[in-house]
Structure 1
Amino acid sequence: MSLIAPNNPPFPAYRATDKECFAYDSTIRRWPIILDSVISDVEQTLVEETNEASQEEGRVILKAVRILKEEIAADKPLRLLNDSEDDVDTWNGHIQKYFPDVTWFTGTWLFNECYLYRRLRECISMTTHWRDYDPFERQKIQTFRGSHASVFELARKMSAMTYPMTEEQLEIIYDELVQVCLWGNATDLSLLTNMTEEDIKRLQAIEKEHMAAQKKLIVVDDIDVVWGKIKTLQNSRVDFILDNSGFEVFVDFVFADWLLQSKKASKVVFNCKTIPWFVSDVMPKDVPILFDCCFDRDFFPQKEERSEEDFVALKIMAQRWKDYIANGQLIIQAHSFWCNGLSYWYLKSEAPDLFEDLKKSNLVIFKGDLNFRKLVFDCEWPVTTSFRKAIGEDMAEKFTSIVTLRTNKADTIVGLKEGKQEEIEKVATPYEWRCTGKYAVVQYNEPQQKGQM
């Protein structure tokens, strides 16, 4: 077997040259839609801009994004980055070492998709007046506004909780929260190009009946195993490797709140992205925006059935989260490793500082589809490959306890029991259960002695 490398994973990588996989659909359909949305947002921002120098820079950004879109359509080679951001040498080193001469179609889908968002950052970072501009911020905020029913439902439930709780009570709440935390990932703006508001509401619904039905769609279900870990925790550290902003990170805050109030954790760390990433991913600046939305009585649509107690419950909860940050119980941090194009097989070698810091955590929760793809190298594993094997030795044996909460939005999948794929495909096409977010996995790994993979 040839040496494993970013452009040569353990099994064939997904590439846009394969018209049967989601990589092809992303490259020819989703990415142009996303870039068009960026162009529209820049144009809208330009209308509001009065500074002449800033207007000129906005026009430069528009030209750069259009060139990027043309490069993809023409299947041009990936070029080196031209800006002076802190990570430019890392990115250019990866291109030169692992991906020389690859194109938008021939490179791995994982690296190319990450490179797309880094190129978008380049379009913006080479300006003076637009450096802090997030072309996806309006979409993030608008999607959170559309989640109002679930937001207030969760606020009511959390306000009704009293501590301390029995282990039985904690388990009941955990079982609901972990599922809400899982299915909240269904709201991924990079994938909602054809999804209606009703589709979003359906995916975010948190009624018990819906949860029971949704649980049947978890094709690898380690929820009980994860509870076995969490119930042993006491004043521990728990890390979230975040995915989407808006309702999903709102639910992550709810989960973190429960961990802190129940004393399962004394410290929770939210690991964010450093740049606008995959449309909806959380950056540190998105956190105060979320709080401001929760404190603004006029932000969410007004509903007759919404009581004063609902607004108070949401405000009290958001204020408690702010207090956690102020007193160091909740840490918001970001690292450039989360915004490069490599699998997490390279976390230890590429970001040893981050690897060692995360090892101090008692549990690391990886949210969402991209984190899953990066954990398992985003390649065509046999579906019955164990999660432990797919995440590589460093993550499986030399790291800490991890869980991945992922709604399936890409082809790669591991951890299925023998016969499970055939069972699923009696009722769902491969595309439906692997790529639409309708199905999900909750997978756990506890470090064990070498040789037990």
Structure 2
Amino acid sequence: MNTNISPNHPPYPAYRATEKGSFAWDSTVRRWPIIIDTALVDMQKAMDTLQNDQVTQKEEGTSIINGLNQLKQEIADDKPLRLLKDNDSDSETWNQHITTHFNNVTWFNGSWLFNECYMYRRIRELYSLSNYWQDYDLFNNQKIATFRGSHGSVFDLATKMPTMIQPMEIEKQELVFQELLQVCLWGNATDLSLLTNMTEDDIKRLQAIEKEKLAEQLNYIVVNHIDQVWKKLKHLEKGRVDFILDNSGFEVFVDLIFADWLLQTNRASKVVFNCKTIPWFVSDVMPKDIPILFDCCLNPDFFPGEPTKEQQQALETLVKRWQSYVHSGQLVIQSHSFWCNGLAYRTLRDEAPELYQDLATSDLIIFKGDLNFRKLVYDCQWPVTTPFHVAIGPSLAEGFTSILSLRTNKADTIVGLADGKQEKIEATATPNEWRCSGKYAVVAYNEGSS
């Protein structure tokens, strides 16, 4: 174990693209170029909508397209990471991190976690240096198109919601919680930055919300602290719950379902959605994505097919209630640049002390998705039986607040397994399948001081 911990030298060896055949290597040589190519297609389509007299916009768009191609080539050539050139509010912090911790590292030999985050920040730089395109979300069309494809599950959940929030005895509330937590867990199957590894059938299976499927999925949760989470929520009254969001579209829709249940059952009087500040990992939620989702749901022509009148009314009632939460302050939507840097979350107290103090007042923080898990546990090659509270570090495990990570496994990093669990899993699944395919999951919880 490394006792001199730093961002490029985590507690155990970092995942790096220098290991040919690894998931980090595959991301660097295959997934990232696909993501950039998709961005190039989107940019060209946006350019094609410009009028002939929009000369400056076209010139800037051409510059961005050239920059995306150059970035792709830079990665392929394994060039050193360079400092950022824009003047965004986080540029100085990024450059300090590069200079201090990643000076002269390359796209392959730097830590996979930092490099992947840096790639998205370099994409942001191209837009930041423009005038016309500064607020353009190059992933927006993909987010909306993917959400449109989730219409079956959207209407199913909307019609179920009135039953979920009606008064009921505590035993039935626990059953509702169990179902909601699993829907919230498997909802992040639609991570667009990783769809290159998954078939449409995989996504449909992971989004399935029938009770039989949810019961079956319990077998695929390799770290299961669901009972501990219920123990926390069972007696919580009018608390604050934070979500560190992951993907937009269907995943944030089910996050809203879970938040609604927390508010309607008076377990929470305030829910805070913490978003990304820039287009990030293709599908991650920015503050503007939530009102866009509301508008999509309220547009009767948005989803394909012909929903019944009952389904459309149920969805409209649900979304208007969510809008009322935003207006009343029961649902707060905020963002912070800390969520878009390349460091592990155990640096939160030092890197963003005001955010750390704010989050410390929450009763429960729910971290959604694979990247948030990787950042929580420093994305390194821990022994798989390392306890979750050890991996997240003392600044988050002690004297902070309760933390829950809901994650489908889409990268090698894993902690919290019971003795013998890995061997049992690998009797029927390959390491790549259970660690990286999104077919297995983690519900990891640490009880805080609050």
Under TM normalisation by the shorter chain, which class is it?
over 0.9
3-state secondary structure, aligned to 2:346:
helix
Matched, 1:253 2:222: no
Q: Report if the CA contact (8 A) 1:386-1:415 is conserved.
A: yes
Paired AA for residue 311 in structure 2: D
3-state secondary structure, aligned to 1:78:
coil
Shift of 1:169: 2.1
Candidates 157, 165, 169, aligned match of 1:166: 169
3-state secondary structure, aligned to 1:190:
helix
Deviations 1:401-438 (A, max 9, x none): 01000000000100101110000001000000000100
Matched, 1:443 2:444: yes
Q: Report if the CA contact (8 A) 1:185-1:368 is conserved.
A: yes
Gaps of 5+ in 1: none
- Please give the residue correspondences for 1:36-435 in structure 2 after superposition, counting only pairs within 5 Å: 36-50=37-51, 51-303=54-306, 306-435=307-436
Greater CA drift, 135-144 or 156-165: 156-165
Distance 1:436 1:141 in 2: 24
Paired AA for residue 81 in structure 2: L
Paired AA for residue 448 in structure 2: P
User: Could you say if the C-alpha distance between residues 161 and 418 of structure 1 is closer, same or farther in structure 2, counting changes exceeding 3 Å?
Assistant: closer
Paired AA for residue 71 in structure 1: E
TM-score, normalisation: structure 1:
0.97
Deviations 1:31-76 (A, max 9, x none): 0000000000000100112222111111010000000000000000
3-state secondary structure, aligned to 1:216:
helix
Q: Report if the CA contact (8 A) 1:182-1:407 is conserved.
A: yes
Shift of 1:13: 0.3
Q: Report if the CA contact (8 A) 2:165-2:265 is conserved.
A: no
Distance 2:284 2:134 in 1: 18
Shift of 1:195: 3.5
**What is the Cα-based RMSD across aligned positions, in Å?**
1.1
Shift of 1:172: 1.0
Shift of 1:162: 4.8
Distance 2:10 2:202 in 1: 35
Shift of 1:307: 1.3
Distance 1:13 1:117 in 2: 20
Deviations 1:352-387 (A, max 9, x none): 001000000000000000000000000000000000
Distance 1:309 1:268 in 2: 28
Number of matched residues?
447
Shift of 1:448: 6.1
Deviations 1:137-168 (A, max 9, x none): 00000000000000000001003345333212
Question: Identity over the aligned pairs, expressed in percent?
Answer: 64
Q: Report if the CA contact (8 A) 1:146-1:197 is conserved.
A: no
3-state secondary structure, aligned to 2:44:
helix
Paired AA for residue 28 in structure 2: T
Distance 2:292 2:227 in 1: 34
Deviations 1:170-194 (A, max 9, x none): 1111000000000001110000025
Shift of 1:115: 0.2
Shift of 1:302: 1.3
Ranges of 4+ aligned residues in structure 1 off by more than 6 Å: none
Distance 2:131 2:433 in 1: 44
Deviations 1:230-270 (A, max 9, x none): 11100000000000000000000000000000000000000
Distance 1:68 1:162 in 2: 49
Greater CA drift, 196-205 or 409-418: 196-205
Matched, 1:21 2:39: no
3-state secondary structure, aligned to 2:273:
strand
Paired AA for residue 329 in structure 1: Q
Gaps of 5+ in 2: none
User: Could you say if the C-alpha distance between residues 2 and 402 of structure 1 is closer, same or farther in structure 2, counting changes exceeding 3 Å?
Assistant: closer
Distance 1:162 1:211 in 2: 19
Distance 1:145 1:223 in 2: 30
Distance 1:89 1:307 in 2: 53
Q: Report if the CA contact (8 A) 2:404-2:444 is conserved.
A: yes
Deviations 1:307-342 (A, max 9, x none): 101000001100000000000000000000000000
User: Could you say if the C-alpha distance between residues 269 and 413 of structure 1 is closer, same or farther in structure 2, counting changes exceeding 3 Å?
Assistant: same
3-state secondary structure, aligned to 2:209:
coil
Q: Report if the CA contact (8 A) 2:241-2:363 is conserved.
A: yes
Q: Report if the CA contact (8 A) 2:275-2:334 is conserved.
A: yes
Paired AA for residue 322 in structure 2: W
TM-score, normalisation: structure 2:
0.98
3-state secondary structure, aligned to 1:444:
strand
Q: Report if the CA contact (8 A) 2:241-2:365 is conserved.
A: yes
Distance 1:197 1:421 in 2: 28
